[in-house]
């Protein structure tokens, strides 16, 4: 199975559960070119990994990072953040 098969091209931003356990979970996220995962806050620390594509991760503390395939960023809890797809991108979010 391929991560791209979990999403349809119709949605600008798509999130699908990839793995769940009592200790945490992983979510597959697809962001199409020019689309945005809206501002939100996580209550727990998280790790965002870019599997394919290019996105820009930003948070309210002024951090702005471009993630390419293989890049990752640690997401702080209780800090507003958002992600913009520069090109069609596949990501994994681990919490």
In which band, very low, low, confident or very high, does the pLDDT at 9 lie, cut at 50, 70 and 90? low
In which band, very low, low, confident or very high, does the pLDDT at 4 lie, cut at 50, 70 and 90? confident
The pLDDT of residue 2 is: 85
| 2 or 81, greater pLDDT | 81
pLDDT one-digit tens code per residue, 32-64? 999 999 999 999 999 999 999 999 999 999 999
Chain mean pLDDT for the chain: 95
For residues 80 and 11, give the distance between their C-alpha atoms in angstroms, rounded to a whole number.
Answer: 23
For residues 92 and 28, give the distance between their C-alpha atoms in angstroms, rounded to a whole number.
Answer: 5
In which band, very low, low, confident or very high, does the pLDDT at 3 lie, cut at 50, 70 and 90? confident
| Domain boundary assignment for the chain | 3-94
For residues 83 and 89, give the distance between their C-alpha atoms in angstroms, rounded to a whole number.
Answer: 11
Closest C-alpha among 8, 24, 6 to residue 16: 6
Task: Enter the CATH code of domain 3-94.
Answer: 2.60.120.10
């Amino acid at each position: 199975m391929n991560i791209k098969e979990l999403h349809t091209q119709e949605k600008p931003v798509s999130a699908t559960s990839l793995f769940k356990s009592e200790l945490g979970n992983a979510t597959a996220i697809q962001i199409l070119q020019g689309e945005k995962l809206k501002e939100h806050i996580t209550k727990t620390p998280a790790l965002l990994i870019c599997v394919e594509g290019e996105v820009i991760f930003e948070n309210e503390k002024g951090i702005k990072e471009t993630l390419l395939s293989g890049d990752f960023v640690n997401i702080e809890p209780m800090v507003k953040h958002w992600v913009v797809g520069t090109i069609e991108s596949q990501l994994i979010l681990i919490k």
